[in-house]
Structure 1
Amino acid sequence: MRTLNAWMLGAALLAVPVGAVAEEAASYSNLLTPLLSQNVDVLGTPLAYPEGEAKVTAAIVTIPPGGETGWHSHEVPLFAHILEGELTVDYGEKGTRTFRAGDSVLEAVGWTHNGTNTGDIPMRLIAVYMGGGDAANTVTEPTP
């Protein structure tokens, strides 16, 4: 009976059209909407992961209209995607950038900056910190 079952399974596998496997893979890629693919942060600095054990942290950040993040920096790469609203980030001597709902960014690493909700509704973003070892996701910095 086992031989018959093995033979039937083999025959069933051979009966699957080769194109069906390719079609399934192609349909999966159709489900993806790329948000970002780059190897430098928003200021053009090449990404580098911290030493040590990997640690990924994901969070939703919400800032009310007129609210600020406060001056801070990141010791690890940070991917952010704006879900709602508008955020203007001041990078000091490197200028300001405004991000709106639907925008994605690899935030500046090792550079002090401050984000302000310059819109009329709460700004919400998803932040994914790609950390490791003892590196801090966010470090509070003095106002320049």
Structure 2
Amino acid sequence: MKRISFIIVFSCIGLIATAQYNKGVVLETILKTDTTSIGQKIVYPSFAKDEVSIVKVTLPPGKSTGWHKHFFPVFAYVLQGTLTVEVENKKTLQFPVNSSFSEVINTLHNGVNNGNEDVVLIAFFMGEKDKPLSVH
């Protein structure tokens, strides 16, 4: 009985999501979260001039972003390679191709390419107009 209820609930959710668009349009959730990759609660800051930036980042083999932090939510999708993220608390995270993640907020971190091919990702910065995307 529980399995049937579970199937009915998820079928209804799927119908609601698909009903938002014309027949034949497929929605595939890439990431749905309320926390960062290290479990921080995502909170949108209140800015005077909100601005979203979508950036393609290419990190060659052996290179890193350098230690930096963001003061607002940033989301990323890995198109190619495997990104290693070192976090200031000595934690290391791995994000392979076709994975997505919510970056850490107000926490120093460093993106590293330890592989033999470029790491390519698309990053979505939920920032403020005329302000930097990150701070070293």
Q: Distance in 1 between matches of 2:105 and 2:24?
A: 36
Counterpart among 79, 83, 87 of residue 87 in structure 1: 83
Aligned to 1:19: none
Structure 1 residues 23-81: Cα deviation after superposition (integer angstroms, max 9, x where no partner): x64533xx222100011111111111121232100010001001000000001100100
Larger radius of gyration: 1
1:43 paired with 2:38, answer yes
Contact residue 65 and residue 121 of structure 1 kept, 8 A: yes
Give the 3 Å change call, closer, same or farther, for CA 135–77 of structure 1 in structure 2.
farther
Q: Identity of aligned pairs, percent?
A: 36
Counterpart among 118, 124, 134 of residue 122 in structure 1: 118
Gaps of 5+ in 2: 1-18
Counterpart among 24, 28, 32 of residue 27 in structure 1: 24
Gaps of 5+ in 1: 1-21
Q: Distance in 1 between matches of 2:90 and 2:118?
A: 26
Give the alignment's Cα RMSD to 1 decimal: 2.0
Contact residue 88 and residue 107 of structure 2 kept, 8 A: no
Q: Which amino acid aligns with 2:98?
A: G
Aligned to 2:97: 101
